[in-house]
Amino acid sequence: MTARPWIAVAAATFSSLAITVTLPASAQSSPQPKLRIGFMLPYSGTYTALGVAIENGFKLHVDELGGKLGGREIEYIKVDDESDPSKATDNVNKLIKRDNVDVIVGTVHSGVVMAMAKAAKESGTVLIVPNGGANAVTGTMCAQNIFRSSFSNWQPAYAMGEVAGKQGKKKAITITWKYAAGDEMVAGFKEGFEKAGGQVAKQITVPFPNVEFQALLTEIAAAKPDVVYSFFAGGGAVKFVKDYAAAGLNKTIPLVGPGFLTDGTLEAQGEAAQGMLTTLHYADGLNTPRDTSFRAAYAKSFKLQPDVYAVQGYDAAQMLAIGLAAVKGDIGKKAEFAGAIEKAKIDSPRGTFAVGKSHNPVQDIYLRKVDGKENRMVSVAIKGLADPARGCRM
Ligand code: PHB
């Protein structure tokens, strides 16, 4: 043996001895620090109810697991993003740089989510998106540390286009808020509708979060399309569906949309929404044991019926729990964490789904019909629909 390996062996032996001797026994078994989860959600404005439902759903699953994920206790840090893209970069950087969170959960608004995805990609912080459908988040911006428990804007929109086209509707007018979610949900509808033989005659937009619809409803009435397709959500959806009915249009031109138009809003929309058809990855009346037990638990905890947003929050917690269990709480093990979620079948109240390589759910899209206070499942409009994930290179 030459001298050098000898030194290496001696050094290795010495250092391992030194570790055994100097580390107090308690340090070896000491619990990991709390896992810091940053909720960046709308707690004010038109999407407030959506943010609250997401947080409720998330916490419900954490409670079911005894308050721990991957063996770690949880600390929550909350930021109100106000659904304001101009504040999004500052808000997300507060969580990443000031609060040093391990995971970010958020948000609802597609424009805000884009800024969050950019910051997450740059910093490597794990981001789980429990709503915001911006296609790019699991498309051109896809990344190992970014996951979505909800949908891409394309998914429910494309399905509604296909359904309306197959119903024989020929001429559609679309109306939505002018921002990424509205644009993409109209584009998805148009793609499905035109493939099935329809044509979008006019695309109307209003600035987000405006709810002044009168002049636009007059314009729609005059154009006499076969169908009106619309994306609004939260408070805006309540106002639009009520205004549409108040103008008498629901008697002559069916109003359809992605299910956000009537989800979590039926209490307030009442008579105005009856009979409406929408497409979404969740529905009332699924009647599976999984959904029934979720609904009972949610109603017991929050004295409210869950909606799609609550399900997405719940599933965000399920995905995080699966990833963390695989790495025993060490979220720094990025590849193992991501690999576990990529391989998982998420046992969602909506039905089981997998996220695939782009990290967006591959899921059934239901056709639903409003009946009283429920978005009752009519059929599965498209089974196992995957977003095209255009531009995603992992
Ligand atoms: C979005 O901005 O991506 C968004 C907002 C509310 C919804 C759905 C999508 O209900």
Output the residue whose Cα is nearest ligand 1's atom 7.
Answer: 233
Each residue of 128-171: pLDDT tens digit? 999 999 999 999 999 999 999 999 999 999 999 999 999 999 99
Q: Is-contact 317 54, C-beta < 8 A?
A: no
Three-class secondary structure of residue 274 per DSSP: coil
Percent above pLDDT 90 for the chain: 92
| Rounded-to-integer distance, Cα 141 and Cα 118, Å | 7
| Rounded-to-integer distance, Cα 357 and Cα 250, Å | 41
pTM beyond 0.85: the answer is yes
DSSP labels for 80-97?
A: E-TT-HHHHHHHHHIIII
Distances (CA, A) of 366 to 21, 87, 183, 264: 62, 35, 22, 16
pLDDT of 295 higher than 90: yes
Residue with tokens 């789980």: 128
Per-residue confidence (pLDDT) for residue 186, from 0 to 100 = 99
Pocket test for ligand 1, best of 47, 108, 113, 240 (most atoms within 8 A of CB): 108
What ligand 1 atom has the least distance to the C-alpha of 111?
2
Strand partners, 365: 382
Average pLDDT, the chain: 94
Task: Please indicate whether residue 110, judged by its CB atom, sits closer than 6 Å to ligand 1.
Answer: yes
Each residue of 20-68: pLDDT tens digit? 444 444 445 567 999 999 999 999 999 999 999 999 999 999 999 999 9
pLDDT of 275 higher than 90: yes
Q: Is-contact 151 133, C-beta < 8 A?
A: yes
Pocket test for ligand 1, best of 50, 109, 160, 241 (most atoms within 8 A of CB): 109
Distance 109 CA to ligand 1 centre (A): 5
- Length of the chain in terms of residues written: 394
Distance 131 CA to ligand 1 centre (A): 6
Name the residue with higher pLDDT: 5 or 346: 346
What ligand 1 atom has the least distance to the C-alpha of 263?
10
Task: Give, to the nearest 10 degrees, the angle between helix 48-64 and helix 289-302.
Answer: 110
Q: What is the mean pLDDT of residues 188-217?
A: 98
Distance 234 CA to ligand 1 centre (A): 9
Q: What is the mean pLDDT of residues 277-302?
A: 98
Each residue of 70-90: pLDDT tens digit? 999 999 999 999 999 999 999
pLDDT of 314 higher than 70: yes
Per-residue confidence (pLDDT) for residue 29, from 0 to 100 = 58
Long-range contacts: 212-218, Cβ < 8 Å, 24+?
213/175, 213/239, 213/240, 213/243, 213/244, 214/243, 214/247, 216/175, 217/243, 217/244, 217/247, 217/249, 218/247
pLDDT of 233 higher than 90: yes
Task: Please indicate whether residue 260, judged by its CB atom, sits closer than 6 Å to ligand 1.
Answer: yes
Task: Please indicate whether residue 281, judged by its CB atom, sits closer than 6 Å to ligand 1.
Answer: no
pLDDT of 8 higher than 70: no
pLDDT of 104 higher than 90: yes
Distances (CA, A) of 347 to 28, 107, 128, 149: 35, 22, 17, 12
